[in-house]
Amino acid sequence: MITEEAVLKALTNVDDPDLGKDLVTLNMVKDIKIDDKQVSFTVELTTPACPMKDMIRSACVNAVKIFVDKEAQVTVNMTARVNTNRKDGGAILPGVKNIIAVASGKGGVGKSTISTNLALALAQEGAKVGILDADIYGPSTPMMFGLQGERPMMRDVDGKGMIEPVERFGVKVMSIGLLVDEKQAVIWRGPMATSALRQFISDVYWGELDYLILDLPPGTGDIHLTMVQTIPVTGAVIVTTPQAVAMADAKKAMMMFKQGQINVPILGVVENMAYFTPAELPDNKYYIFGKQGGQHLAEQFEVPFLGEIPIVQSIREGGDKGFPAVLNDEPVSKKAFTDMAAAVARNVAMRNANLDPSRVSAIKLN
Ligand code: ADP
């Protein structure tokens, strides 16, 4: 007779390859049901877009057949519950499991395009996602999500008036561009901008989120310090193009996150505008800005390479018309963004399993 204990013991032989421990130790096996030779259970992974889902599923089936009963008929339901590693008390962004900062050294390399499509690709995999546009001098998220002219609603949360993000394509969106005219945001300087941003962060009601994508302004200025000092950032995604000037600035951004007092883990590097592909000749790749610069940068800093995004006309058009490329069925850009999002989610899960809890940085601002 097959027992629950025997099934669990068998599944101690199946590892989550990213987390390096077995599924039972990781408490991922749920809801075991046994009816004679029929065995079913749920495996709860830590990322919604796990690229090793099928491999883990067949390893589970094999383990039960080998270690319990070779005639067992095994059904494995694969689900996901995104993990978290916050020990900051949850005073800010309380229901948010992971905060992913998207940064670049240089402007115009496609940081907002990557942030937007990353948020949407994670949501398409079933995760609860928000995006906070912290680029207060040039907020582009409202345009990319087709939200120009929209204004968020207020909501009462435990007696406090809070701003409710605007929901679009299944993602919660908040940008300073939704609150004030773009022209008004641009005149903010130094302390005024940082205090507005800090208040803006504490006054938005996000509810429960698996991932909050933080679209940072380009560069390495006061806004960045305010963010890491206010928000327990899970990790940073660095966006660069393969050009030498972009990579030199990307290096500065990486050095900033690595700095002792800031110490935000770098989840990896995304190379945007990696090559140009004409729609009618999808196998032809033209490396206009140089080749594999992002990969070399990732190697140099010993961080993961999260993917390359080609230059595709529909990516630019999607951003301009408020319908981002990952929502389209154009296969080249869709696959590039989906693979990148899976790599980001996977590295968040590994970061949470292996590194210290995320916390706000101790760095002091004047
Ligand atoms: P940043 O946030 O770094 O300033 P944006 O995301 O606003 O950059 O991108 C700058 C411009 O380049 C936008 O018009 C955007 O649509 C376009 N763009 C970004 N990435 C790509 C790409 N891979 N292919 C085509 N156009 C792109």
Whether the pLDDT of residue 95 is over 70: the answer is yes
Task: Quote the CA–CA distance of 296 and 221 in Å, as a whole number.
Answer: 25
Bridge partners (DSSP) listed for residue 172: 130, 167
Q: What is the mean pLDDT of the chain?
A: 92
- pTM of the shown model: 0.93
Which CATH number fits the domain 4-80, given the four candidates 3.40.50.150, 3.30.300.130, 3.30.428.10, 3.40.920.10?
3.30.300.130
Whether the pLDDT of residue 365 is over 60: the answer is no
Cα separation values, 221 from 118, 256, 293, 294, Å: 24, 10, 24, 23
pLDDT tens per residue, range 257-299: 998 889 999 999 999 999 998 878 878 999 999 899 999 999 9
**CB-based burial of residue 190 (10 Å sphere; 0-12 exposed, 13-18 middle, 19+ buried)?**
exposed
Provide DSSP, 115-140. HHHHHHHHHHTT--EEEEE--TTS--
pLDDT tens per residue, range 327-355: 998 888 999 999 999 999 999 999 999 99
Which of residues 226 and 64 earns the better pLDDT score?
A: 64
Among protein residues, the one whose CA lies closest to atom 5 of ligand 1: 110
Which of residues 195 and 358 earns the better pLDDT score?
A: 358
Task: Quote the CA–CA distance of 250 and 113 in Å, as a whole number.
Answer: 16
Among protein residues, the one whose CA lies closest to atom 9 of ligand 1: 110
Distance 161 CA to ligand 1 centre (A): 35
Atom of ligand 1 nearest to the CA of 319: 16
Cα separation values, 151 from 68, 128, 154, 206, 313, Å: 59, 22, 10, 16, 30
Q: What's residue 364's pLDDT?
A: 64
Q: What's residue 186's pLDDT?
A: 58
Distance 298 CA to ligand 1 centre (A): 21
Stretch(es) of the chain classified as CATH 3.30.300.130: 4-80
- For tokens 């079913």, the residue is 40
What's the CATH code, domain 96-354?
A: 3.40.50.300
Q: What's residue 366's pLDDT?
A: 47
Single-letter residue type at 154: M
Closest by CA to 63, choosing from 20, 2, 17, 13, is 13
Provide DSSP, 171-194. EEEEEGGGTS-HHHHHT--HHHHH
Ligand 1: residue of 106, 109, 113, 275 to mutate (most ligand atoms within 8 A of CB) is: 113
Stretch(es) of the chain classified as CATH 3.40.50.300: 96-354
30: Cα within 13 Å, side-chain hemisphere: 10
**Per-residue tokens: 50:** 């796990």
Ligand 1 lined by 315 (C-beta under 6 Å): yes
Task: Quote the CA–CA distance of 209 and 101 in Å, as a whole number.
Answer: 15
Q: Say whether 295 sits in a helix, a strand or coil.
A: helix
Say what the alpha-carbon torsion angle 240, 246, 248, 254 is, to the nearest 10 degrees: -30
Distance 321 CA to ligand 1 centre (A): 13
Q: Say whether 272 sits in a helix, a strand or coil.
A: strand
248: left (phi over 0), alpha (psi -120 to 50) or beta: alpha
Q: Encode 276-295: b = buried (16+ Cβ within 10 Å), e = exposed.
A: ebeeeeeeeeeeebbebbbe
